Amino acid sequence: MTFYIGRESSKLWKRICAEITTEINLLAENWKYLFAGLICQYIHGLAARGVHYIHRPGPVLQDVGFILLPELGKEKAYISETLFSFIFLSFVLWTFHPFIFKSKKIYTVLIWCRVLAFLVASQFLRIITFYSTQLPGPNYHCREGSKLARLPPPESVLEVLLINFPRGVIYGCGDLIFSSHMIFTLVFVLTYQKYGTRRWIKQLSWLLAITQSFLIVASRKHYTVDVVVAWYTVNLVVFFIDKKLPELPDRSGATSLLLPLTGKDKEGRTKEENHKLLNGNSGDPADWRQRTQVNGKILEDGNAVHADSTMNGA
């Protein structure tokens, strides 16, 4: 038993080291895209913080979702955040599964480049939308009478740039249309829908996304319109951007053929192909037929040689 555990641990460690090497090579090529995506996440947070300064609390607007769904109240408002945290952490762990599991379909660096592209495009549209029209926040800390509903003018630029993280993010007001929670949820679900392998997880993911939508409205964190707009906007954004981005390599086949080639690998492969061509073989391994050189010409099979000799003697 001890020997078996030791052997499996050794295999797991080798797998992790091999995956780290592969991902580092990919990171060296794609770090600019990841860095730009993270910078855009900060800009999105900065924009959400900025709209809080111009938020003006008022009566909660009439909303169909508020009429149909019972209000959870302040005591149970954590339920929607708990579900969102579960979805977020589950997706993050899934993107790192190639480091552990033998069966894998994605590269962690490449999948996050794709996810960040979806998030940035959706958040750019969101910033334009919530700055166009500021609605009175329906959340408890954004209503009239709450000390957090309005922010005093910033005393310095640094106060704005630091965005009072994480309190400024949790107790923000004014960034309503459309829901940021639904942006992340739908991007994660759509990504797993395409690159995930477990059918039951895909079905569960959509169920959790629908549940998240109802909980956001029931918690009075957003109006129903914020959730509805997120559903069709994010789906359209992912649909169109996914067509523009290059397709990810599928790792379910031969892994070695999908890894990025270094300069030495490319040079070695080119020399090998040239060597095959000089010997009369094409680059296709299935085309390794016997060839004979006669009169400076490369001919196939002995019958061709005999025909050429007969023609010369005629």
How far apart (Å, rounded) are the C-alpha atoms in residues 40 and 34?
10
How far apart (Å, rounded) are the C-alpha atoms in residues 210 and 296?
73
Angle value at C-alpha 43, between 208 and 52, nearest 5 degrees: 80
Contact 233, 121 (CB under 8 A): no
**Candidates 55, 175, 181, 306; catalytic one:** 181
**Candidates 226, 275, 284, 301; catalytic one:** 226
Residue found by looking up tokens 């794609």 in the block = 30
**Candidates 222, 265, 287, 306; catalytic one:** 222
Distances (CA, A) of 249 to 255, 262, 291: 10, 17, 37
Return the sign of the alpha-carbon dihedral for residues 114, 116, 120, 122: positive
Task: Report the chain's C-alpha Rg in angstroms.
Answer: 29
**Is 306 one of the annotated active-site residues of the chain?**
no
Query: Which of 122, 146, 125, 116 has the alpha carbon at shortest distance from 52?
Result: 146
For the chain, the distance separating the N- and C-terminal CA atoms, rounded to the nearest angstrom, is: 80
**Is 242 one of the annotated active-site residues of the chain?**
no
**Is 226 one of the annotated active-site residues of the chain?**
yes
* Residues known to be catalytic: 181, 222, 226
